[in-house]
A and B are shown apart, each in its own frame.
Chain A
Amino acid sequence: MPHDFTVPVLRNVDLGHGNWLLEFEAVDVASAMEPGQFFMIGVPGSDVLLRRPFSVCGLPGTFDDGPAGAVQILYRVYGRGTRLLASLGAGALLHVLGPLGRGFTPPAGADAKIVVVAGGIGCAAFPAFIARLARSERRVAMVYGARSRDELPLLAWFEKRCDSVEITTDDGSLGTPGLVTAPLREILRGPDRSRLHLYACGPTPMLKAVARQALEAEVVCDLALEAPMACGFGVCLGCVLPTHERPGGPVSYDRVCIEGPVMRAERLAW
């Protein structure tokens, strides 16, 4: 059940290039929260009306220096809401609702080969998940893409915590020039393909491309989705995406905040 609470910022760390890591105490929700779930976060008294959705990046144990009972979100300054967040120092108050939505489910089979595919700030959903998987000794390979080397936040953390990190950049400033779909194509052709389980989070064009590749290769793929939303708890109906029970079936609209944000790739009727 979501809690609606007001808490002070513990830390708001500028990671450079417009990326920030915000930390606040969430004792009542941190232990029950699943990786891939999200918060709605607003700033009391500000003239930004609606709270904004942010997936949880760090839960207790994700980051070595995270205080007990604290959680972290990773965000990129993009519009009015995130600009306001970036202006906050320690002690400023946040209006937080969470945990919300359906998070990541680890693969059923113990021998599954887990690959996370992140596009830029879409990596935000993965640290808590990777740390949770590590608790049960499960290892992760990562494909991490962005427009340039400046848009790969927490890269050092991922390199330390994943078996491998394949980097792609649109401008070739780091890793392989191009999109995440190129290394992913190789992975999907590899010897482990029958045991693969993909998890992807990033901009919608990337998610569509990854979903298409996974479906063609008949590989299980979960997407962490994003949409503008007003409430985060299922009533505004603003955050819907077109979905179907099976490809070609009748299309309806599922809420990213309730039926998602994590959905199976084949569910999306893009």
Chain B
Amino acid sequence: MVSPDLSVEVGSVRLKDPVLTASGTFGYGLEFLPFLDLSQLGGIVAKGLSPRPRKGNPPERIVETPAGMLNAIGLQNVGVDSFIEDKLPRLRAYDTAIVANVFGETEAEYVDVCEKLDAAAGVAAIELNVSCPNTEAGGMIFGNDAHALGRVTRACRRATRLPLWVKLSPNVTDIRETARAAEAEGADAVSLVNTFVGMVIDVEKRRPVLANVSGGLSGPAIRPLAVWMTWQVRRAVTIPIIGMGGIMTARDAVEFILAGATAVQVGTANFVNPRAAVDVVEGLGQWLKDRNIASVRELVGTLVAASPVSGHA
């Protein structure tokens, strides 16, 4: 058979394949040029951008955990102006969707960054980071509460015509509530999940390993949690889902797609293998070919499952 069709549409955003790189794990994309051709990727989600540069948290910032890692970087970034002036013009040379991840400490800051990106050429979509667990102000304060998340989504919706994705926190009682709030206030898609808040203790020193005390857990350890949340959200909203959480291989990506994700993001795997996202793209094509499936779109949300008797059956 001919090569399977990997293209998908996340709302109005057409992606040549359903694999993007997750914010905070891919720098500004340019760092990966020694290892891969950015044009092979469906899209890249750049490191979270704030109105002004942020220097981030003091070290220690990372520690490996069983099948994962805990990080508390604190959104160290160059700021939105530098991204637009220095990074975006170079990224535009590649045939890939450039998604800007936006972070603010206040609603006004989110709006400010969205307006600047709206006026810049070459941004395919904006992803609102309302789920960073490692900053004192902003981030998860918006993501933990459906009402606050709805408010910041509405404000950003007014600030830009660009497709608006809202990245959901898993650190909530019921992720369907924040997903519904994003949908109700005009989000074009939801991406999930961000990291789970966790902590590692050095028992000899009786101190937390991370200077920030807690950090965000990512990697294969969280994959079953993230797949479950994708499946929950699929049945709660009608807007597209971009799924992520510990995707290391094409097989892992298929799990999210079956659970209802139209596209996926590869995160922690980029640190371990800088070609990981391209490997997932190529592996996905092969996976479909081996099963005579003509298009990845045929897979989305096709999980064969009886309705669970209880929420955790």
Where the two chains meet, the residues of A that have a C-beta atom closer than 8 Å to any C-beta of B are: 1-2, 4, 42, 47-51, 80-81, 95, 97, 227-231, 233-242, 251-253
Are B56's CB and A240's CB within 8 A? yes
In the complex, chain B residues whose CB is within 8 Å of the CB of A51: 272
Judging by beta carbons under 8 Å apart, are A237 and B31 in contact? no
Q: Is the CB of B272 within 8 A of A233?
A: no
Chain A residues in 8 Å Cβ range of B273: 4, 95
Q: Could you tell me if B274 and A4 are in contact, using CB atoms closer than 8 angstroms?
A: yes
Q: Are B73 and A50 in contact (CB under 8 A)?
A: no
Please state if A4 and B76 are interface contacts (CB–CB under 8 Å).
no
CA distance A4 to B249 in the complex (A): 18
A229 and B62 form a contact (CB under 8 A): yes
Once the chains are docked, how many angstroms separate the CA of A35 from the CA of B144? 48
- CB closest residue in chain A, given B75: A237
Whether, in the assembled complex, B64 has its beta carbon less than 8 Å from a beta carbon of chain A, the answer is yes
The reply to whether the CB of B89 lies closer than 8 angstroms to some CB of chain A is no
Cα(A51)–Cα(B220), bound, Å: 15
Evaluate contact between A4 and B275: CB separation under 8 angstroms.
Answer: yes
Q: Are B61 and A49 in contact (CB under 8 A)?
A: no
Which one of A97, A237, A253 has the highest number of Cβ atoms from chain B below 10 Å of its Cβ? A237
Range, interface on chain B: 20 to 34
* Cα separation A135 to B6 with both chains bound (whole Å): 55
Q: With the chains together, A222 CA to B60 CA distance in Å?
A: 22
B59 within 8 A of partner (CB): yes
Contacts known (A50-B69, A235-B25); A230 close to B271, Cβ less than 8 A: yes
Q: Is the CB of A50 within 8 A of B64?
A: yes
Contact B220 A49 (CB under 8 A): yes
Q: How far is the CB of A77 from chain B (nearest CB, A)?
A: 16
Query: Can you list 21 A-B pairs with a CB-CB distance of less than 8 A?
Result: A1-B34, A49-B68, A49-B272, A50-B64, A80-B64, A97-B274, A227-B60, A228-B64, A229-B62, A230-B64, A231-B271, A233-B34, A233-B274, A235-B32, A236-B271, A238-B73, A239-B62, A240-B56, A240-B76, A242-B59, A253-B76
**Contact A237/B69 with A4-B35, A230-B62, A253-B56 known, Cβ cut-off 8 Å:** no
Q: Is B67 an interface residue (CB 8 A)?
A: yes
Q: Does B63 contact A (CB under 8 A)?
A: yes
Assembly CA distance A42 to B63 (angstroms): 16
Report A-chain residues with C-beta under 8 Å of the C-beta of B68: 49
Per-residue A-contact encoding for B15-30, CB less than 8 Å = 1, 0 else:
0000000000111000
Q: Give the chain A neighbours of B62 by CB distance below 8 A.
A: 228-230, 236, 238-239
Q: Which of A50, A97, A227, A235 has the most CB of B within 10 A?
A: A235
A4, A42, A240 — most chain B CB neighbours (10 Å) = A240
